[in-house]
Structure 1
């Protein structure tokens, strides 16, 4: 397979369309056509605006399920490995999905089946769960990613979508996933929306209810081409909710997707507005058609009224916290890397960007991209951020920043979020828990250039801002001019510092005669990168409980699998669960590091620290264990012991546990004394975050921890 020449741009359009569609429909999800019409009339814009949109299951699924291609060998991927992926990135009973009850929520049902030993694809099948549960909408709404990694290859896209959908669904629940993935794959190579819809049909059984519905809607649209409302009346009568059981059946919503695609006539805005006005499961339906139309038209075919409010920002709610705060260009890069791996084919002209290992890489090569940069100006004027081809340090594009009205002495910030707490969002939606994406010890660099028409100086300092206190760490001062200039800053070691923002603080200098005169300021930003190892320490007495809502309250910077985790007397206290109770922080990218933790066993026999955590199903744990031992375990769908040695630990005594991981070598000491040394030669985990855990009803208190690089 050969990637289309404009694959990256269309891929960006697809992810933009997905996120736009989900946000467009989010706050009217479940509304009827009549209620929407009475409330809004003709929808032409977002019904609601968000300062930052919180996580949604429609984005969680495609953003995280595609990681199966990273964790396993794509050519030999199985439904069982897809099931592993689902459990690996999902916290139990919270976040990611709608946890509506066994036999009610399809994903909840499949998760519990998998957990209790029912393998995929039986876990999602009609035979296991019944037709009503198996044929709800989830297989359709999570399948965008498979079309995005298979441009033009409809069969492969449908095969992957069907495999993933089979973990949670059966029957038409699987067919919907195959249909959507095939349509997205088709949109990379087709020009007419009618052809795209037709391309989705051969990958599902011709005699199925799903295929019959699609053919009926297509036929009606051909006979009545001028009025989508007439077509929706037909859909509501023949395929409405009244004909199907369950909370959100796939057939009515798939009919709305087909209808809106055909009546939208390939126009992005018209299509997503029609889809939203039909009602029912709006965020799911508009998200799917948004992906298809985004790929078909590319980013330049999407009006700025849709892209500007979201500003490339994406939030997810899996349990790997450093994957929960992203940007759409980051998702595009990750998707493209997986597409390269899947198809064993390079994307010409993008090799350097796809092979870059930086934590963040703001390259602006995607038309219109902003990488979720924001501004804070201590006056009343906006700072305008615009992707431009006028200037570039590297490649073809950069970000142009314009302050329309400034004076000598004006100061302002340009930054992006590297951590998110409740105050950054309007709601909790699917319970996001976030770990920082940048840490003390890492290096920030960027290339800046002052527009040649500007006759004044612009001073800049890079900064890292603590989310808990607002305190900033600053670089040296740089003075910009009309040439591209590199500015860089290695963030120093810091205690109790959660980096919530990375940015640039600007100050306007110049002739004092300009002080009372307003003037416009313009400059350019390109190739901003953050890279390097972490070097920091946290005392839990400095942390806070973050209240998202009455039921969702978590410790700052931590995500959790299960258990009750709280701050008590300045310590992280938690566990309580008879199954492994775990919480995590740090980056999934970390490789070789030292992890030092002070912990106190309060009750029970299992008190651990976790490292190289790659999710709920993949990690190492070492800690105080039954029989007065210290034990090292490896988790792959359940922990197994690698090594243990006697250690006479006692409840109520604080111990300092230190773990050093270099490549496959694991070294553990307690209170400065060597305890375990083990080399894992059996598919070792070479990267991953850190965490805390226990089991068997144990309770543990953790007072502090430290992370230092061994590179």
Structure 2
């Protein structure tokens, strides 16, 4: 499955069959009886498309388990329609420009920190620690050092050197930053009442197909095949609860400072092109978390606020509550991360639930310290660049741009590389300034 994951999974019947079976298993469907057939057809060197599609049809037709204890998308599709309980005119914050800029810088720094370690098949908390300790770089307090010579197993990515200590010359291109830029362009062009159709049109116009991944790649394929949102999120899209919606949400928090419910509604509308259920709720949670950071007294308080925008009995809410409870009980960070990996290791390493928990842990045990927050988040593994970006965004808002240590921001040179058409080598400060123009 690893080769399918990094290949053209959107067109590989083996990947679509296997991950759809996983998705149905994880969300309470009676598909256990298909396990052997799924494994026989999906874990093969050569695909047998007709048999894969036939079995996929059967998996998709399986009934729900009657005793499933969690709320799923089929139970609460209207959960995105939050009542607006927020004031129209929050108290003006003179520090808002610095804090929005801090969010952008923190996101870029956290993403860059995590980028060299982004491969959950290879990088676990244990292997990350084993790599860093010989360089005196554990716990992480600066960008990831480079092994010389670089092992092909870890340095085969073209952007490895561009995201490691001493090699960073501007924020390297990453989808976690591309979507933040694309979201800003969306808000500038379409305003706060943008539609999912506007998002679809923008993707086709500005976003290269091969710079999308998992749920976004499938949704893009569905757009090309003539589907429209929300069907793009569900047709043959087994990645619809993975992390993609979450990584696209921060811009809606920046645009609604102190208004987490409005941020969540906007993020849900944007995420609906590719995600449903816990994938879409994770986007709402992340947007609310970022928005709440502008007015909350602490990261813990912002996390408590963010939890209120998603269904209480969703798997995501239950998982995040467990992390919050671990923190209240006085568990150590190592204990908390180990518990998260045990509870959610059955999900893909890019699933929204486990990664949201690692973000929450980084923010809770980071306790408002920017360096500690992004360091802990990244060294906890799984989707390290995405998690580092979101945690860095929140931590950067709390500290403001002026409070982020210079060793994180200086190598960025106020520049970000991007695959979004018209935005390569954009100034981070200019993106932050433009964000203030759409903030409401």
Whether 1:46 and 2:46 are equivalent positions in the alignment is no
Shift of 1:77: 2.1
Consecutive unaligned residues of structure 1, counting only runs of 5 or more, are 99-104, 344-711
Q: Structure 1 residues 192 and 73, CA, compared in 2 at 3 Å: closer, same or farther?
A: closer
Tell me the secondary structure at the aligned position of residue 295 of structure 2.
coil
CA deviations over 1:622-663 (Å, ceiling 9, x no partner): xxxxxxxxxxxxxxxxxxxxxxxxxxxxxxxxxxxxxxxxxx
How far apart, in 2, do the equivalents of 1:247 and 1:194 lie? 25
Shift of 1:274: 0.5
Q: Alignment partner for residue 72 of structure 1, among 183, 190, 215?
A: 190
Residue in 2 that maps onto 1:293: 395
Residue in 1 that maps onto 2:274: 168
Larger Rg computed on CA atoms: 1
Query: Which residues in structure 2 correspond to 1:139-158 (within 5 Å)?
Result: 139-158=245-264
Residue in 2 that maps onto 1:21: 110
Residue in 2 that maps onto 1:267: 369
CA deviations over 1:345-388 (Å, ceiling 9, x no partner): xxxxxxxxxxxxxxxxxxxxxxxxxxxxxxxxxxxxxxxxxxxx
Query: Which residues in structure 2 correspond to 1:39-188 (within 5 Å)?
Result: 39-41=131-133, 42=138, 43-47=140-144, 48-49=164-165, 50-74=168-192, 76-91=193-208, 93-95=209-211, 97-98=212-213, 105-125=214-234, 128-129=235-236, 132-188=238-294
Shift of 1:86: 2.1
In the alignment, is the contact (CA less than 8 A) between 2:359 and 2:377 conserved in 1?
yes
**Aligned residue-pair number:** 322
In the alignment, is the contact (CA less than 8 A) between 2:114 and 2:388 conserved in 1?
yes
Tell me the secondary structure at the aligned position of residue 66 of structure 1.
helix
Shift of 1:247: 5.9
In the alignment, is the contact (CA less than 8 A) between 1:224 and 1:231 conserved in 2?
no
Q: Structure 1 residues 52 and 294, CA, compared in 2 at 3 Å: closer, same or farther?
A: closer
CA deviations over 1:541-600 (Å, ceiling 9, x no partner): xxxxxxxxxxxxxxxxxxxxxxxxxxxxxxxxxxxxxxxxxxxxxxxxxxxxxxxxxxxx
Greater alpha carbon shift after TM alignment, 115-124 vs 138-147: 115-124
In the alignment, is the contact (CA less than 8 A) between 1:183 and 1:292 conserved in 2?
yes
How far apart, in 1, do the equivalents of 2:126 and 2:101 lie? 34
Q: Structure 1 residues 73 and 272, CA, compared in 2 at 3 Å: closer, same or farther?
A: closer
Shift of 1:252: 1.3
Query: Which residues in structure 2 correspond to 1:629-644 (within 5 Å)?
Result: none
Tell me the secondary structure at the aligned position of residue 118 of structure 2.
coil
CA deviations over 1:216-236 (Å, ceiling 9, x no partner): 1111111134x2001111111
How far apart, in 2, do the equivalents of 1:294 and 1:305 lie? 14
CA deviations over 1:503-553 (Å, ceiling 9, x no partner): xxxxxxxxxxxxxxxxxxxxxxxxxxxxxxxxxxxxxxxxxxxxxxxxxxx
CA deviations over 1:68-91 (Å, ceiling 9, x no partner): 2222242x3222222222222112
How far apart, in 1, do the equivalents of 2:204 and 2:141 lie? 39
Tell me the secondary structure at the aligned position of residue 395 of structure 2.
helix
How far apart, in 1, do the equivalents of 2:96 and 2:204 lie? 31
Shift of 1:301: 2.1
How far apart, in 2, do the equivalents of 1:260 and 1:21 lie? 11
In the alignment, is the contact (CA less than 8 A) between 1:16 and 1:291 conserved in 2?
yes
CA deviations over 1:411-447 (Å, ceiling 9, x no partner): xxxxxxxxxxxxxxxxxxxxxxxxxxxxxxxxxxxxx
Displaced runs of 4 or more, over 6 A: none
Whether 1:197 and 2:289 are equivalent positions in the alignment is no
Question: Which of the two has greater helix per residue?
Answer: 2
Residue in 1 that maps onto 2:124: 32
Where relative contact order (Cα < 8 A, 6+ residues apart) is larger, the structure is 2
How far apart, in 2, do the equivalents of 1:44 and 1:73 lie? 39
Shift of 1:133: 1.3
TM-score scaled to structure 1, two decimals? 0.44
How far apart, in 1, do the equivalents of 2:198 and 2:362 lie? 34
CA deviations over 1:169-220 (Å, ceiling 9, x no partner): 1111111111111011111111211110001011111111110000011111
Consecutive unaligned residues of structure 2, counting only runs of 5 or more, are 1-88, 145-163
Tell me the secondary structure at the aligned position of residue 292 of structure 2.
helix
Question: Which of the two has greater strand per residue?
Answer: 1
Tell me the secondary structure at the aligned position of residue 16 of structure 1.
helix
Residue in 1 that maps onto 2:66: none
TM-score scaled to structure 2, two decimals? 0.71
How far apart, in 2, do the equivalents of 1:290 and 1:260 lie? 10
Tell me the secondary structure at the aligned position of residue 239 of structure 2.
helix
Residue in 1 that maps onto 2:59: none
Instruction: Kindly report the root-mean-square deviation, in angstroms, between the aligned alpha carbons of the 2 structures.
Output: 1.5
Q: Structure 1 residues 247 and 261, CA, compared in 2 at 3 Å: closer, same or farther?
A: closer
How far apart, in 1, do the equivalents of 2:330 and 2:343 lie? 16
How far apart, in 2, do the equivalents of 1:113 and 1:87 lie? 11
Tell me the secondary structure at the aligned position of residue 135 of structure 1.
coil
Query: Which residues in structure 2 correspond to 1:405-554 (within 5 Å)?
Result: none
How far apart, in 1, do the equivalents of 2:224 and 2:97 lie? 37
How far apart, in 2, do the equivalents of 1:86 and 1:23 lie? 23
In the alignment, is the contact (CA less than 8 A) between 2:299 and 2:368 conserved in 1?
yes
How far apart, in 1, do the equivalents of 2:370 and 2:299 lie? 11
How far apart, in 1, do the equivalents of 2:334 and 2:191 lie? 46
How far apart, in 2, do the equivalents of 1:22 and 1:271 lie? 13
Q: Alignment partner for residue 340 of structure 2, among 216, 230, 235?
A: 235
How far apart, in 1, do the equivalents of 2:396 and 2:335 lie? 26
Query: Which residues in structure 2 correspond to 1:620-659 (within 5 Å)?
Result: none
